Amino acid sequence: MQPLLYDNTLDTLFMVWWSTFYAVLIGIPVGVLLHLTGRGAMLQNVVVFKALGTLANVGRSFPFLILIVVLIPFTRLVVGVSIGPTGAVVPLTIAAVPFFARLVEAALREVDKGLVEAAQAMGGGTWTIVFKVLLPQALPALVAAVTTTVITLIGYSAIAGAVGGGGLGNLAYTYGYQQYETSLMITTVVELILLVTLVQLLGDLVVRRLASRGTRASSVRVGLRRARSEEPAAVTEAA
C-alpha cells in the first residue's frame, strides 16, 4: 500500500505541476491580450477580444470529463499517448488556460488606471506598461490566481486519474472504490485535502508578503529588496 500511495502521489504532482506550468505560460499572454484589447483599452480590438473571449468561455463551459475524451486525438498528437499522467497533462492544460487567463484579465483590471496614465505620460509604450506597470502591480493577484488554478487542477487531476490518468484519483477509484479498500480511499482523500490546504496556505503567504510591501516591511527586508534590486525578475519567477 505504501509504495502505491507514494507512486500515485508523484503522478498527481507531476500532472499538476506541468499543467500549471503550461497554463501559466499560455494563460498570462492570453490574459494580457484580453485585457489590452477590451473596450476602451490601449489596443482596443473587438475582433481579437471577442474571439479570445468566446474561446475562453467555450473552454470553461466544457465538462472536464468530456473534454478529456474529445481531446484524445489531439493529446496523442502532442505527447504521443492519451493515457497515464503524461496524457492527462494536455487536457488539464487546455482546461486550465481559459480559466487562468480570465483570472489574469481580472487581476490586471484591478490595476489603478492612474498608474497606466502616469506611465503613458512618461512616454511609455504598451510594452513598458505591460511589463513595468501591469504585471508587477498585479503580482499579488496573479499569485492568488495561480493558487486557485493549482487547486482546481488538483481536483481535475483526480477526475483525469479516474479515466486512466494515474495519480491519487486513480488510486482512490480503482483500489478504494472498486476493491472496497475503504481505508486506502480515506487516506487518499485526506492526502488530497492536505495537498490543497498546503497549496492554499503557501499561496496566501506569498500574496500577503507581496501585498504588504512597504506597509509592514521592516528596514531589514527593505535592505534585502534593495540588494536584490532587479525587480522585473520577480515577474518571471512567478510565471
- The residues binding other proteins (CB under 8 A) are 41-44, 112, 114-115, 117-126, 128, 132-133, 136-137, 139, 210, 213-215, 217, 222-223, 225-226, 231
- Residue 31 CA to residue 20 CA, distance in Å, equals 15
Contact (CB, 8 A) for 80 and 90: no
Contact (CB, 8 A) for 81 and 162: no
Query: Closer to other proteins at the Cβ: 37 or 152?
Result: 37
Give the side-chain half-sphere CA count within 13 A for 177. Answer: 10
Query: Closer to other proteins at the Cβ: 185 or 234?
Result: 234
Least distance between other proteins and beta carbon 236 (Å): 14
State the distance between the two ends of the chain, measured CA to CA, in whole angstroms: 36
Least distance between other proteins and beta carbon 31 (Å): 18
Least distance between other proteins and beta carbon 103 (Å): 19
- Residue 86 CA to residue 98 CA, distance in Å, equals 20
- Residue 77 CA to residue 24 CA, distance in Å, equals 22
Query: Closer to other proteins at the Cβ: 37 or 147?
Result: 37
Query: Closer to other proteins at the Cβ: 10 or 48?
Result: 48
Least distance between other proteins and beta carbon 127 (Å): 10
